[in-house]
Amino acid sequence: MAIDLEEDIRIDYLRDVWLEERQVRLGMLRLDLVHPLVSGNKWFKLKENIQAARASGRRSLLSFGGAYSNHLHALAAAAAAYGLHAIGVVRGLPGDTLSPTLEDCRSMGMELQFVSREIYRRKEDPEYLASLQQHYPEAWLVPEGGNNEAGMSGAGAIASRIPADTGMVCLPVGTGATFSGIRAKLDRHIPMTGFTAMKGGGYLEPGIAGVLPDGQDNWRLETSFHFGGFARYDDVLLRFINGFYERHNIQLDFVYTGKMMYGIYELIRTGIIQAGTHLVCIHTGGLQGNRGLPPGLLPAMQ
Ligand SMILES: *Cc1c(COP(=O)(O)O)cnc(C)c1O
């Protein structure tokens, strides 16, 4: 079963009186709809990794993530679809019960390797990676979040889905691979804003600038909508996600897309995003991660 994900991608324009009053046209590129398991931006970051793995005769994909990792989830599904074995190096000890995410990963055939936080921290250390490679000689190693050259290059394909008359593009940012991949390919006249999902996200700026071609400088990171840090949340965010679903029938996740959409509405409310803007935001998927919330917190969506 090869994956043809990219057919269903569309842009939904939000019908919203509040937006109309402020004369903002807000479209959402629905990467969340492309596949139930390999949803969102993760597929784009994986596809060239899969090609490279196959081209070099590797039989498995190995990567890293936490208990609710969208990346490991997508990688397990994509590997299964392409007949590759998958190995997930997971931060933390197995515990008595696996998270629903890791349950899915395992049932899709992923081999789970639990490592301590100390070892997990070495996920980019060349010596550690060499020892993993030695242990799994058949494996193609993919960094956490799919953040490598193949990942960024694959994400670049998303740029072709942005209409030429778009006045601004917004998307959530974790490692920055999706953001840089799109920025590298998108018409440089269209400004891009990335909403960082973690506290102090400005540290990503030099890394993003460093991988972009000369002249691709029409972008900024919006670092103030982190809600306390990565995968942190509060009532305000949850109320927003519930309300958004009630109004638009579109689910958001609490780690990435919920924070971005909240931020976009704030930037419109405060006039930073101005009347007349044609904005396209990217729904990067990741809805499976909402299973990391205690039950009952997103009643509208359940
Ligand atoms: C992983 C993820 C991101 C972040 O992508 P990066 O390329 O790491 O910046 C954004 N949104 C969702 C839903 C994700 O799962």
Q: How confident is the model at residue 10 (pLDDT cuts 50, 70, 90)?
A: very high
Average pLDDT of the segment spanning 224-231: 98
181-216 per-position pLDDT tens digit: 999 999 999 999 999 999 999 999 999 999 999 999
Residue 255 contacts residue 231 (beta carbons within 8 Å):
yes
Q: What percent of the chain has pLDDT over 90?
A: 91
Average pLDDT of the chain to the nearest whole number:
95
Q: Which two tokens stand for residue 128?
A: 């550690």
Pocket test for ligand 1, best of 42, 261, 284 (most atoms within 8 A of CB): 284
Ligand 1 atom at minimum distance from 40 CA:
13
Ligand 1 residue neighbourhood (C-beta within 6 Å): 40-42, 70-71, 145, 147, 172-179, 253, 256-257, 284-286
Residue 42, judged by CB atoms within 10 A of its CB (0-12, 13-18, 19+), counts as buried
What pLDDT sits at residue 1? 46
Ligand 1 atom at minimum distance from 194 CA:
9
What is the pTM (predicted TM-score) of this model? 0.96
Average pLDDT of the segment spanning 118-127: 97
What pLDDT sits at residue 200? 98
18-36 per-position pLDDT tens digit: 999 999 999 999 999 988 8
Residue 5 in this model has a pLDDT that exceeds 90: no
Average pLDDT of the segment spanning 271-279: 97
Give 298 Cα–ligand 1 centroid separation in angstroms: 21
Residue 163 in this model has a pLDDT that exceeds 50: yes
Ligand 1 atom at minimum distance from 145 CA:
8
36-67 per-position pLDDT tens digit: 888 899 999 999 999 999 999 999 999 999 99
Ranking 3-17, 125-139, 189-203, 265-279 by mean pLDDT, the lowest is 3-17
Average pLDDT of the segment spanning 150-159: 97
Cα three-residue angle 166-167-173, rounded to 5 degrees: 90
Give 177 Cα–ligand 1 centroid separation in angstroms: 8
Residue 288 in this model has a pLDDT that exceeds 70: yes
What pLDDT sits at residue 186? 98
Average pLDDT of the segment spanning 160-174: 97
Give 31 Cα–ligand 1 centroid separation in angstroms: 11
